[in-house]
Amino acid sequence: MRHHDTVFHELLKHVPWHRFDRLVEEHGADARVRRLSTKGQFVALLYGQLSGAASLREIVTGLSSHSARLYHLGAGADPVRRSTFSDANAQRPVAVFTELLEIMMKQAHRGLRRKLAETTYLIDATSARLNERSAGWARFSAGVCGAKVHVIYDADADRPIYAAVSAANINDITAARQMPIEPGATYIFDLGYYDYSWWAELDAVGCRIVTRFKSNTPLEVVEELLVTPDSNILSDRIGFLPARQARSRRNPMQEAVREVRVATDTGKVLRILSNDLDASAQEIADLYRRRWAIELFFRWVKQTLKIARFFGTSESAVRIQIAVALIAFLLLRLAQATQKAIPSPIVFARLVRTNLMHRRAIDNLLHPPPQIIQDQRQMSLGIC
């Protein structure tokens, strides 16, 4: 019978281990470490994400039951202790994991790069609730603590290209100013990023912007464009935003913009804003509708991986767990791309979870493993 690695082993082959080892060395992550190496910690956290473990104890128990197979992954032969694991999550350099995530996102994106005119990115953030033990770094308000994951998402490739974690009280636009911007690309975002100066920066480097007007933002209309009768496009206008902001500050977004009013299926009217004066109104409306893809991505990650319940409460532990969860997402996408039998991402993730420590081929998870036929001659005791 043909030998197969475990499904977990197959997924880990997509990790750039040479880059990981270099990061461990650069950040001194294994300095004075006696029991659990950073690689062992990383493998354990990935196991927790992919197996659906709900606690450190569950991860440790699962790893102990598969210690023989994990040894071949280079994660170490000694059993993982919960206290050691917890200390590692709280004390190891977060940069090892966040920089590895950045490397893997860039590698995945490089292989899917398209023409800039076809590049569309979605920007949004999702919140994760934390308990009072995280109050020292993540207090949002009295009795409420949390973190935010800020993401740039490539909907066509179905994967993030940038991610950062902050305390929940950090404004979305503050985090957006730290994001890398690709000149000439299209960026779609919602009202959390309503900032004229940031829009002006995007506009200055040739980016197309698609977002929403606030209900109280006026538009000085200079041209009314024709719309298709009996469509969901109610109006299409070109105009200028207010010349002045609060405290009589000059609005840096001085160029003309577009307002497309769209009626949704529920009867709600949306005022969509764009700096693209040439595309059709329907194209702009369709672009804004794509924003929901990032909401579906956040829902998928929260339901399938572990960023809604945390294994630790320190800032390091939370940041590491979120980075590893997104790495697990990329590993699932990369592994799924190697086969064609399972097109559904959620079905593929469930099959990986079920078969994680089984010796199965990634492209054959839908079918039961072949039965092992033993040679009867070997079973014979030679008794006449």
Residue 77: predicted pLDDT? 56
**What residue has token string 């933002």?**
217
Residue 140: predicted pLDDT? 74
How far is residue 206's CA from residue 194's CA, in Å, rounded to a whole number? 18
Determine the length of the chain: 384
Give mean pLDDT, residues 175-204. Answer: 95
Burial class (CB in 10 A: 0-12, 13-18, 19+), 207: buried
Tens-place pLDDT, residues 117-128 = 568 999 999 998
Tens-place pLDDT, residues 9-52 = 999 999 999 999 999 999 999 998 888 899 999 999 999 999 99
Query: Measured at the alpha carbon of residue 37, what is the angle toward residues 35 and 38, in degrees to the nearest 5?
Result: 145
Residue 157: predicted pLDDT? 85
**Cβ atoms of residues 233 and 258 within 8 Å:** no
The backbone torsions φ and ψ at residue 331, rounded to the nearest 5 degrees and listed phi first, read -60, -40
**Cβ atoms of residues 142 and 169 within 8 Å:** no
Q: The tokens of 164 are what?
A: 């950062």
Confidence of residue 189 (pLDDT cuts 50, 70, 90): very high
How far is residue 289's CA from residue 298's CA, in Å, rounded to a whole number? 16
Give mean pLDDT, residues 313-322. Answer: 91
In the predicted structure, residue 188 carries a pLDDT above the cut 50: yes
**Cβ atoms of residues 347 and 371 within 8 Å:** no
Considering only residues 308 and 330, tell me which one the structure prediction assigns the higher pLDDT.
330
Give mean pLDDT, residues 297-324. Answer: 88
To 10 degrees, what angle do helices 315-336 and 292-304 make? 100
In the predicted structure, residue 1 carries a pLDDT above the cut 50: no
Give the lowest-confidence range in 231-245, 277-291, 356-370. Answer: 356-370
Confidence of residue 384 (pLDDT cuts 50, 70, 90): very low
How far is residue 270's CA from residue 43's CA, in Å, rounded to a whole number? 46
In the predicted structure, residue 357 carries a pLDDT above the cut 50: yes
Confidence of residue 78 (pLDDT cuts 50, 70, 90): low
CA-based end-to-end distance of the chain: 30
In the predicted structure, residue 383 carries a pLDDT above the cut 70: no
* Mean of the per-residue pLDDT values of the chain: 87
**pTM above 0.75?**
yes
Considering only residues 331 and 135, tell me which one the structure prediction assigns the higher pLDDT.
331
Considering only residues 97 and 215, tell me which one the structure prediction assigns the higher pLDDT.
97
Collapse the DSSP code of 289 into the 3-class scheme (helix H, G, I; strand E, B; otherwise coil) and give the result: helix
Among the listed residues 316, 382, 384, 305, the one whose alpha carbon sits nearest the alpha carbon of residue 345:
305
Confidence of residue 249 (pLDDT cuts 50, 70, 90): confident
